[in-house]
Structures are given as structure tokens and as C-alpha cells.
A = this chain, B = another copy of it.
Amino acid sequence: MTVVCDDDSDELALNRQLCFALYAASRAMTKAYQPMLKDLNITYPQYLVLMVLWEWAQKGDEAEKNKSLGALGQRLMLDSGTLTPLLKRMEQRGLVRRRRASWDERVTLVEATDSAMALKPRARTWVQQQLQLSSITRAEVVELHGDLWHFLQKLGSETAR
């Protein structure tokens, strides 16, 4: 039996594509978070927003200038087309407050409510437990995280050209 197989068959094989590995791993990770997200009654992107707002809440008021929708977008690499409706949904759920900056009417300031702050310890506990229960070591996580970040930097500096 003759197997027809041109020389580029390997080059574009799905299982060798970094792009697919990233795509699949990202979605698998999102799925792994679902039990916690369901418990907190939020979505995955909303959880990412909360992580930023939780950080901001610790910084006090001196850095209000940097607590805008735009700043949030820079941290998460998302634009207003994604964040505006997402934040409106979170506002409806009582998780965030939105208001215009007095010093610049273009700017929308965003902050976590007490209700949102209350979710933080629950998230922290769950994340810690999952890592302990997992067969994945902390060292593996740190290494993969570092490699991803390094990759992200290079990719960013190249696509910015």
C-alpha cells in the first residue's frame, strides 16, 4: 500500500502547532476554573477583571488616575468593545462601580464593591487547594508561566512593528 504524503504534511500538522497548543491549553484552563466560577457566579473574564480590581483596592486612593477602564484594558490586553459591556454586566450584578473622572470627563473609573471584595478569599482558597490537589507541581507552573510571559513579550514586540 502506498501512502501519499507530501513533504509539508508535518509542518502544518495540528498537533505540532504552537498556536493550537496555546488555544487548547487556554480553553482547558478556563474549563478547570468553572467549578469556582459557578460558585462565585461570575465568568472567567469577569474573574480576571476582579483580580485587577482586587489589586487596585489595596493601593488606596492615591493612584486613582490609574484605575480607569483604559488602564484595566492595558492590564488585560482588552479594549473597550469587550470591557464596556462586561463591566456593565458586573455593575448590574453589584460587583463594580463605574463613574466619570472629575478631572477628565472622558475617563471611566472602575472599582470593586464590598460584595466583590468578599469574593477574594474564596477565590484564593480555591486556587490554593486546586494546586495542592493537582499532580502539577508549583515549579512546573512557575516555569511554564515564565516561558509564556517571555514568549508574550517577544510576540508583542514583533507584532507592534
Contacts and interface: CB of A to CB of B under 8 A. Distances in A.
A149 B15 CA distance: 9
* Total copies of the chain: 2
Interface string A45-72: 0001001101100101000000000000
A23 B26 contact: yes
Interface residues of A, number: 65
Interface in A99-141: 120-121, 123-124, 127-128, 133-136, 140-141
B144 A18 contact: yes
Contacts of A135: 154, 157-158
A155 B26 contact: no
Secondary structure type dominating chain A contacts: helix
Interface in A22-40: 22-33
Contacts of A148: 18, 21-22, 25, 144
15 contacts: A8-B120, A12-B51, A15-B149, A18-B29, A18-B148, A19-B29, A20-B48, A21-B145, A21-B149, A22-B25, A22-B26, A29-B155, A32-B155, A133-B158, A135-B157
